[in-house]
Amino acid sequence: MTYRPDIEGLRALAILLVVASHAGVPGMEGGFVGVDIFFVISGYLITGLLVAEHARTGRIDIAAFYARRFRRLLPALLLMLLATGLAAHLLLSPEERAYQGAAGAAASFWASNLYFAFERIDYMVQVGRGAGSRLAWEWFWRSVSSPVFGSPKCPAGTRST
């Protein structure tokens, strides 16, 4: 896929909207528009990759697709978890550190949503009780799962075995 300055501009806008929300800029509460823009762009790019693969090979190799995604995204996820873990250790109370540690451990095993559900942690609350790992997990989960669960089904016979 070739470089698209229009897409890079939309990504920058999405990031600015989220940063403005976290910085408390009036009128920018929530940051959900920025997140939604980013996920729509990701879905568009991912769908383009999958359609191109299908056009080139006549099939979509889901295992190879996920291997590429993990090689690209896993280092960023681990860095995010390390950074939030360090920040939690330095800035949070012992009780909050315990929650953050458990949320980080769950994110490491792709089980954050289960952890938050069992702990009855409000997913939309963005402070305290594992918020950093929850936000990292949301980004990671949508980036990895949306091609299969959020896109039209792969044509019959195109899934890798």
Instruction: Average the pLDDT over each of 24-33, 114-123, 151-160 and give the range with the smallest value.
Output: 151-160
- Reported as a single tens digit per residue, the pLDDT across 18-61 is 888 877 888 887 777 888 888 889 889 889 999 999 999 999 99
pLDDT confidence of residue 131: 54
Domains in the chain: boundaries: 1-59, 61-156
On average, the pLDDT of the chain sits at 75
How many C-beta atoms lie closer than 10 Å to residue 63's C-beta? 10
Cα separation, 156 vs 138, in Å, equals: 29
Measured at the CA of 85, the angle between CA 83 and CA 90, to 5 degrees, comes to: 95
- 1, two tokens: 């896929």
pLDDT confidence of residue 144: 47
- 119, two tokens: 């702990």
Question: How much of the chain exceeds pLDDT 90, in percent?
Answer: 12
- What's phi and psi for 160, nearest 5 deg? -75, 145
